[in-house]
Amino acid sequence: MNAPPTDTQSSHLDLDDLIAAANGQPIGDAAGEHLTGCEHCRLEASRWNLVADGVRSLAAATPEAAPPEAVPPEAAPPEAVPPEAVPPEAVPAAYPSHPGQLRRTGRRALARHRRRAVLVAGSAAAALVLLAGVGVGVGTWTGLVQVDLGGGASAEPVLTAVSGCPALESASGTLERMNGSSLVIKTPSGRPVTVTTTASTTASETGASAALLADITDGASVTVSGPSSDGTIAAFSVIIANPAQQHPQPPPGMVVVKGTVADASTAGFTVVTADGTRVPVTTSGDTNVSVLNASLGQFPVGVSILALGSAGPDGSLAAVGVVAIMAPPPASLPPSLPGARQIHVQTHAQGRQVYVKNCSPAAVDEALAAGG
């Protein structure tokens, strides 16, 4: 942050912080607190966010490159690729050492790669699912897109890591109304954004709320995480309808169990695992519940909405996934759960999960592209 101006007692965020905020990167606690309380800086941040959104939406609208076969070989100046610059021993079969063939063949090779990438990315994006909930052991439970659910002075969910990913756009705000299959949300800056959905759009709900706890009913497929004592798990997180989810080693003191719900009550339930083991689970008002495959019609007006998809030319967002934040996760979640205040978006391609070790924009991009 800048040094306090001489004419006031306040200081304002410097450009580094504003750019970082616009890029969804973390800023220091002091800067964050200042941003919360300073109207000037909020306005500046909003301006930079709009500029950043404009750039990203242009990038997102960039289609994949056309197959190189469509590019006339003569369109490339021969001098652009000096034959002598290519060591013959480094040229594989697809890149013959014949100078006259190098460029064209190289294009074909790249085209083949690109076509493959397009197909893979398409299948991955089409199967994008939102997984909302408490992450466990983020080092091994590899979320792709992080959403900081706020905390402290800010209760606004802010998508933090998808920024900069040209493959995805995001919108967040409160649900104002449903228009058929579209949602109209109001962003923190007050702008209405229409989020269009299709039958393939995934919808999920998350939060520590009694309404979501009531969705834990007998027969539901669940994944439960939390500390275990005397064989009973005190659930920090319950994810409903996620039978395909893979689970790594949980952090110390935590266990993860997956199975089917039985004996559901207001105090908890029993998880029946695939091998028939019955694991008792207790729940509380602090238990964060995530419901995948929710119905958009269930979203109440006023709920916080996060949507991911591609931006349309009219400023709408064609969503591949929408998540409703029914209530923020409780602040009491232990810091040993790195994902306690995050939402993870995972891609599935051809029925197989894609894992990326961190949640950086590059990782998201990579995961979408290398999905199969």
Partner 1 sequence: MNDPNGNVGAAIFAASRDPASRDGWLLGRIGQGDEDAMAAFYRAHGRVVLAQVLLVTGERALAEEIVQDTMLAVWRRAGDFRGDSSARSWVIAIARRQTRDRLRGRRLRVVDDAFLADRPGSGPGPEVTALDRAELAEVRVAIRDLGPAHREVLGLVFGSGLSLPEVAGVLEIPVGTVKSRLSAARAALSRILNEKGQIQ
Among positions 93-152, residues that touch partner 1 (CB under 8 A) are 94-95, 103, 106-107, 109-110, 112-114, 116-117, 120-121, 140, 142
Under rule CB under 8 A, residue 43 binds partner 1? yes
What is the smallest separation between the CB atom of 24 and partner 1, expressed in angstroms? 10
Tokens of 231: 């064989």
Among 65, 153, 210, 262, interactor with partner 1 by CB under 8 A: 65
Say whether residue 354 binds partner 1 (CB under 8 A). Answer: yes
Least distance (Å) from partner 1 to the CB of residue 245?
Answer: 10
Given 172, 204, 290, 360, the residue binding partner 1 (CB under 8 A): 360
CB of 283 to partner 1, least distance (A): 27
Q: Which candidate, 204, 352, 368, 175, places its Cα nearest to that of 289?
A: 204
Binding residue for partner 1, selected from 11, 23, 174, 284, defined by CB under 8 A: 23
Using CB under 8 A, which of the segments 58-66, 173-181, 263-271, 296-304 binds partner 1?
Answer: 58-66
CB of 258 to partner 1, least distance (A): 13
Residue 77 or 252: which CB sits closer to partner 1?
Answer: 77
Q: Smaller CB distance to partner 1: residue 65 or 210?
A: 65
Residue selected from 1, 71, 255, 303 as contacting partner 1 according to rule CB under 8 A: 71
In angstroms, give the least distance from the CB of 67 to partner 1.
10
First-to-last alpha carbon distance for the chain, in angstroms, is 44
Q: 328 vs 371, which CB is nearer to partner 1?
A: 371
Residues 168-197 within binding reach of partner 1 (CB under 8 A): 191
- Which listed residue (38, 59, 184, 220) binds partner 1 by CB under 8 A? 59
b/e map of 200-239 (b: 16 or more CB within 10 Å)? ebbbbbbbbbeebbebbeeebbbbbbbbbeeeebbbbbbb
Q: Report in angstroms how near the CB of residue 7 gets to partner 1 at its nearest.
A: 15
Q: How far is the CB of 193 from partner 1 (least distance, A)?
A: 8
Number of residues that bind partner 1 (CB under 8 A): 79
315 forms part of the interface with partner 1 (CB under 8 A): yes
Of 251-310, which residues contact partner 1 (CB under 8 A)?
none
Whichever of 234 and 255 has its CB closer to partner 1, that residue is 255
Query: Least distance (Å) from partner 1 to the CB of residue 207?
Result: 26
Q: Which is nearer to partner 1, 103 or 258 (CB)?
A: 103
Q: Which C-beta is closer to partner 1: that of 70 or that of 267?
A: 70
Among 4, 10, 26, 50, binds partner 1 (CB under 8 A): 50
Q: How far is the CB of 163 from partner 1 (least distance, A)?
A: 8
Amino acid (1-letter code) at residue 336: S
Residue 311 as a binder of partner 1 (CB under 8 A): the answer is yes
Per-residue H/E/C for the chain: CCCCCCCCCCCCCCHHHHHHHHCCCCCCHHHHHHHHHCHHHHHHHHHHHHHHHHHHHHHHCCCCCCCHHHCCHHHCCHHHCCHHHCCHHHCCCCCCCCHHHHHHHHHHHHHHHHHHHHHHHHHHHHCCEEEECCECCCCCCCCCCEEECCECCECCCEECCCCCCCCCEEEEEEEEEEECCEEEEECCCCCEEEEECCCCCEEEEEECCHHHHCCCCCCCEEEEEECEECCEEECCEEEECCCCCCCCCCCCCCEEEEEEEEEEECCEEEEECCCCCEEEEECCCCCEEEECCCCHHHCCCCCEEEEEEEECCCCCEEEEEEEEECCCCCCCCCCCCCECCCEEEECEECCEECCCCCCCHHHHHHHHHCCC
Per-residue mark of binding to partner 1, 334-353 (x: CB under 8 A): ------------------xx
Provide CB contacts within 8 A for 136, sequence distance 6+. Answer: 225, 237, 247, 248, 250, 251, 254, 256, 337, 339
